[in-house]
Amino acid sequence: MADYDILVIGGGPGGYTAAIRAAQLGLKAAVVEREHLGGICSNWGCIPTKAMLRSAEMLTHMQHASDFGISLSGKATPDIAAIVKRSRGIAERMNGGVAMLLRKNKVDVIWGQARLTAPGTVEVGAADKPAVEPQAPAPKGVKLHGTYTAAHVIIATGARPRVLPGLDPDGDRIWTYFEALKPSSVPKSLAIIGSGAIGVEFASFYAAMGTEVTVIEMVDRILPAEDAEVSAFMQKALEKRGIAFRTGTKIEAAKTGKKDVTLSLAGGDTLTVERVISAAGVVANTEGLGLESIGLTLENGLIPTTGAGATSVAGLYAIGDITGAPMLAHKAEHEAALCVEAIAGEAVHPLNRNRIPGCTYCDPQVASIGLTEAQATDSGRKVRIGRFPFLANGKAIAMGEDQGMAKVIFDADTGELIGAHLAGPEVTELIHGFATAMELETTEAEIIDTIYPHPTISEVMKEAVMAAYGRAMNI
C-alpha cells in the first residue's frame, strides 16, 4: 500500500489547500516543502507586500491630516526598519498559521527537495539552496529525507522572479522582490522594470517613502493586462504621486557601479539610479522535479493539464502557477479544491479563467474580472459599456478619495456581464461582487434590482451598471 492517498509537492496556497481539502475528505495527505510553509504568497509576496503598502497608506494619510481638520505636532516620516520588521513579523505569523492548519488537519509535512523517481514515488532529499532567499529551517516535528509513495501526487511548486538578460539580480544594486521587501534603507532613486502588478505596487510603496521612482515598460502602456481605459487612468493617478513612466521602452544594457546602476535604453537614452527592481513577471518552478524521467513534457516552461489538474501521467496532477496564467494565489487555491475533489470522485465544475478576479494594491487600487473592452469587441460581440466616476460618489468624497472609476461590460444581446474594471480606493474589496454576479450568470436586471447601501463606495458598481443601460442617477 502507498504511504499516502495524496502527496503534495509545495506548501504554498495551492499546496496546503490541496492537502487540507484531502484531509477533510478523509484522505491521508502529506506536503513536501523545501523553503517555507505558505509559499511565496505568505512569506515574500501577497501578504508582506500588503503590510508594507498599508504602512505607505498610513504615512500618506498622516501627511495629509490637515485636509481632514487634524493638526499634527510634527512631520510624519517613515521608519523603514520598523516597516520591514512589521512586514516580516506578519509573514512569520502567516507561516506559523499554515503550520498550525496542517497539524490541525493531521497532514504530514516532509521537509526537503522532492523528486519524482517513478509515477507515485517521491524521493525527498536535501533542499537546494535558493539563489536569493536563504533556506528556512525545518519546523519541529516534520518528517525529513526519504522515499514516499502516494496514489496521487499533486505538484504545486509555484514560481519565482523572472531574470531578464543583462539584469541579473545581485542583492545589492539590482533587486528582485526579495530584496525590495527588506531594504536596509530607502533608496533616493529607483528604476522598476515592468509595470505589472508587482512593479506598480513597489512603485507605489517607494514613492510614498520619498524615493524618486521611474517605471520602465516595454509595451506602450502600464498595467498591460488591464483594460486600456483603466491603464490610462492609473498612469495619470500615479504620475500625480510623483512616479515617472517610460512606456514603449526597452533596456539594452545595465552597468552596475559601487553606488548606482546606469541603464542604457533603446534610442540612446540612459538612466542612472541608486537601485533597480526587476519586476518583469515570474517563471514556474519546474526544475529538479524529475518530470522528464516519468514522461511529462513541459509546454513553454509550464505543466500542461486537462480537467481538474490532471496531467498526461496517470496519478500526477499540477495546480497553481506551474500551470500558467493567471499566476494568482486564489486561482491556485481554487484549482487545489477542484483537483482533490475530482480525485475523491466528486463532481466538480471546470475552472473558468475568465471569472478569476485580479487585484493590484497600489494607491489607488485596481481590480478587474472578465474581458476588457478590446477583448470583448475583438470576440465579435455587441457590447454595452457603463462607466461611473468616484467623484460622483458621496462616500468617496467624504473619505477624501474621489479619484477612481468603475467600468462594466455587458453582452448587448443577452445582458450577460462579461467584464468589470475598477480603479480607486478599496476596489479590491469590491470586485468579489462582480465575481459572484458572473458566477451566478446575473444580468443587468438583477444588479439594478439589488439595493446597495448608501453611502458606500460599492454604489459605484450599481451606478456603472445603470449607466450601461442609460439609467445612471448621479451623473
Q: Residue 248: pLDDT band by 50, 70, 90 thresholds?
A: very high
Q: What is the pLDDT of residue 370?
A: 98
Chain-wide mean pLDDT for the chain? 94
Q: How far apart are the C-alpha atoms of 235 and 213, rounded to whole Å?
A: 13
Give dist(CA 56, CA 61) in Å, integer: 9
- pLDDT confidence tier of residue 142, bands split at 50, 70 and 90: confident
Query: Is 90 exceeded by the pLDDT of residue 276?
Result: yes
Please give the Cα distance from 347 to 29 (Å, whole number). 21
Q: Would you say residue 2 has pLDDT above 80? A: yes
Q: Is 415 left (phi over 0), alpha (psi -120 to 50) or beta?
A: left
Evaluate if residue 75 carries a pLDDT over 80.
yes
Is residue 133 predicted with pLDDT exceeding 80?
Answer: no
The pLDDT assigned to 459 comes to 97
What is the predicted pLDDT for the residue at 117?
Answer: 96
Strands 261-265 and 251-256: what pairing? antiparallel
Whether the per-residue pLDDT at 132 is higher than 80: the answer is no
Q: For 86-125, what is each residue's pLDDT tens digit? A: 999 999 999 999 999 999 999 999 999 999 999 999 999 9
- Answer yes or no: 454 catalytic: yes
Predicted pLDDT of residue 326: 92
* Beta carbons of 173 and 140 less than 8 angstroms apart: no
- pLDDT above 90 for 341: yes
Confidence of residue 197 (pLDDT cuts 50, 70, 90): very high
Please name every residue paired with 290 in a beta bridge, in sequence order, or none if there are none: none
Q: Tell which wins on pLDDT, 384 or 139.
A: 384
Rounded Cα distance between 408 and 467, Å, is: 9
Q: Where are the alpha helices (DSSP H) in 64-157?
A: 80-104
139 — pLDDT class (breaks 50, 70, 90): confident
What per-residue confidence (pLDDT) applies to 297?
93
Whether pLDDT at 131 is above 60: no
Q: Which pLDDT score, from 0 to 100, does residue 129 have?
A: 60
Strand partners, 148: 122
Sorted by where each starts, the structural domains of the chain and their CATH numbers stand as 4-53+79-161+283-353 (3.50.50.60), 174-280 (3.50.50.60), 364-468 (3.30.390.30)
- My answer on whether omega of the bond before 326 falls inside 30° of 0, hence cis, is yes
Give the model's confidence band at 74: pLDDT under 50 very low, under 70 low, under 90 confident, else very high.
Answer: confident
Average pLDDT over residues 194-220: 97
Q: How many helices (H) and strands (E) does the chain have?
A: 13, 22
Which three-class secondary structure state does DSSP give residue 247? Answer: coil
Least confident span in 38-42, 134-138, 216-220, 380-384: 134-138
Catalytic residue among 64, 145, 432, 454: 454
Rounded Cα gap, residues 316 and 118, in angstroms: 10
What per-residue confidence (pLDDT) applies to 134?
A: 59
Which of 459, 388, 445 shows the shortest CA–CA distance to 421? 388
